[in-house]
Amino acid sequence: MTAYIDEYKNRFGVEPICRQLPIAPSTYYDARKRSPSARSLRDEKLKEEIRRVHVSNFDVYGARKVWRQLNRDEKIPVARCTIERLMRELDLVGISRGKRRRTTISDELAPRPADLVERNFAAERPGQLRVADLTYISTWSGFVYAAFVINVYSRFIVGWRASIRYTERLAEAGAVCSVGSRGDSYDNALAETVIGLYKTELIRNRGPWKNLDEVEYATLEWVDWFNHRRLLEPIGDIPPAEFEANYWRKESEENTDGLKQLSLR
């Protein structure tokens, strides 16, 4: 209530406002003289951290990921409900993917490439299986096409390219064509998920776009963030690069233990 009075006192005066509210002017002045509470001071510090985390992650994190980030990387112990409350006060929200748009119509009579993974997007190690897909971006200079190659195990984006040309770029990169039906990318579920994040977190969030060069530079920034800093829920709320590093570290430790066992025989 004191914050409300502070906001409007220069316009209406303290006493007139207090007459309309269930508060005496003396109560307001006493409250202004008191030192801020420990909770208020901590809230202000947390708000600074929340703003920093939100901005440094493309302004896309909601309360859950901000909470994860603060507790995990920043080593700031805080309850999720506190983050939710403070983000409401700051008017900060996470980005929403919204309703999916269908941009392709499947041709049931067209020749179909083989479904090489049989819609089984699972891998036991990095590099075992990769998926590729592309999307289009509308710019002031025309359409730009962005293609991505993704490591299924970790969701790490191992390669990408933006171009004003369409299918040739995937062929030049040696990406094998594997979808359930021609003109239908919905079977490529994992790649579609990553591209959906790309379109939501970068393209729609920071557009409109002028040309290919602008899209390329922004995509470079987003891919670096996605691979090394973005928290992904399917792999335990850690970045893809860290998930792969954990695998190789465990593999190295197991190999070392195996050599030790052999040396003791």
Nearest of 168, 124, 130 to residue 150 by alpha carbon: 130
Non-local (6+) Cβ contacts of 123 within 8 A are 129, 151, 152, 153
Worst-scoring range by mean pLDDT, 13-17, 51-55, 114-118, 174-178? 174-178
CA-wise closest residue to 138 among 206, 203, 60:
203
Greatest mean pLDDT range, 35-49, 158-172, 224-238: 224-238
Q: Could you tell me which of 168, 185, 164, 170 has the C-alpha nearest to residue 105?
A: 185
Angle between helices 189-198 and 212-228 (to 10 degrees): 110
Query: What is the assigned CATH class of domain 97-265?
Result: alpha beta
**What CA–CA distance (Å, rounded) separates 62 from 200?**
14
* pLDDT above 70: percentage of residues in the chain: 79
Q: Which residues of 176-210 are buried (b: 16+ CB within 10 A; e: fewer)?
A: eeebbbbebbebbebbbbbbebbbebbbeeeeebe
pLDDT of residue 169: 55
Cα separation of 89 and 56, whole Å? 19
Give yes or no for residue 109 having a pLDDT over 70.
Answer: no
Please give the C-alpha separations between residue 93 and each of 5, 238, 257, in angstroms, as whole numbers.
27, 21, 47
Q: Does 195 or 31 have the greater pLDDT score? A: 195
Q: Report the sign of the C-alpha dihedral through residues 6, 11, 15, 17, in that order.
A: negative
Integer Cα distance of 147 and 133 in angstroms: 6
Residues of the chain with CATH 3.30.420: 97-265
What type of residue is 242? E
Report the alpha-carbon angle 139-147-197, nearest 5.
75
Residue 112: pLDDT over 70: no
Tokens of 158: 């191992």
- For the chain, the average pLDDT equals 84
163 bridge partner residues: 145
Across 68-89, average pLDDT: 93
pLDDT band per the 50, 70, 90 thresholds, residue 4: confident
CB 47, CB 90: distance < 8 Å? yes
State whether the Cα torsion 203-208-212-217 is positive or negative: negative
Backbone dihedral region for residue 96 (phi beyond 0: left; psi -120 to 50: alpha; all else: beta): beta
The amino acid that residue 161 corresponds to is R
Q: Summarize pLDDT for 207-242 with one digit per residue, the tens.
A: 999 999 999 999 999 999 999 999 999 999 999 999
Kindly state the average pLDDT of the residues 107-130.
68
